[in-house]
Amino acid sequence: MSSRSSSATAGRKTLRQRLAGTSINLFYLPAIILLVLFLLYPLISGFAISLYSWDGYNPEKIFVGLTNYMTILRDRNFLTTLINTLIYGIGSTILQQVLGLGLALMLNARIKGRNLMRAIIYLPALISAVIMGTMYYFIFQYQQGALNAILVWLGLDRVVWFENSTNAVIIILLVNSLQYVGTSMIIYLAGLQGMDQSVVEAASLDGASGWKMFWNITMPGLAPAFTTSVVLNLIGGLKLFDVIKVLTGGGPGYSTNSVSTYISIQYFDNQNAGYASAIGVVLFVLIAIVTTLMNKGLDKLNWES
């Protein structure tokens, strides 16, 4: 009888040893389920749809293989949207870093009303991009826009701000950058306030100031914040959608479309779901490549050299 109880006890111990850590691993399960449902499944499903000619509504699909991807290579409109996407992504990232870091340095100093100024600058980031786009639309509108009203009041002629693609792309770039510059500012402020002040004080005692202090002390301390801000801004710029739809609708022609807006045109307007899915896969790969290269470049950057 005792031998049976001892063997049962040993069996329970062995079972406990096998299950050790399992309860912790089970905590990963909700995250894994969400990852599969909202990332892996849409990605695999999108790639599968890209292999078909489909209008997005009828149950019948025609398998065409990689034809949609070959069409992308010959699509001049896609090339235009790809160039625009890179301009929106890289351009807004640069602007937001310069403005965000400058504002963070200014508002990190002990000046009167700095908390109010921080809130005002960050507020646009909390507002929907559609609402911000609508606000700027009424600023740049030809007939009743606020900007043209000021020009008329000054005795000048009205300007058709979205008449050509160059002006329109620049305006979209500026609107997107101004809306989210507050996000970069907050990230840099957190980095500045988390820096080791003893290092800054030691550098000041050693005579470091101005540009030397900024490049040799401040920027190395802000390296994690810089990496975070750049990656977030870059991804946001590369998938820009709302502001373009509201301000220009992608026009004139296809000249201000991003890849994201071009996908919606192909799917909903042209009812070409297979081609839209192929473009979506290309956009995913583009963002993954650019982000990976950016991370590697930032990792190799040595601020202290």
Selection from 85, 57, 59, 41 nearest residue 279 by Cα: 85
Per-residue pLDDT of the chain (305 residues; tens, 9 = 90+): 555 555 555 555 565 556 555 555 777 888 889 988 888 898 899 999 999 999 888 888 999 999 999 999 999 999 999 999 999 999 999 999 999 999 999 998 888 889 999 999 999 999 999 999 999 999 999 888 999 999 999 999 999 999 889 999 999 999 999 999 999 999 999 998 888 777 777 777 766 666 777 777 788 888 889 989 998 999 999 999 999 999 999 988 889 999 999 999 999 999 999 999 999 999 999 888 988 888 888 777 655 43
Please indicate, yes or no, if residue 17 is contained in any of the structural domains.
no
Closest CA to 244 of 144, 174, 143, 149: 174
Into how many domains does the chain fold? 1
Find how far residue 235's CA is from the centre of its chain. 3
Read off the CATH number of the domain in which 54 is found: 1.10.3720.10
Q: The pTM is what? A: 0.84
Q: Would you say residue 233 lies in a domain?
A: yes
DSSP assignment of 86-103 = HIIIIIHHHHHHHHHHHH
Segments forming the whole domain that contains residue 202:
49-300
Q: Establish if 221 belongs to a structural domain.
A: yes
8 A C-beta contact, residue 33 and residue 250: no
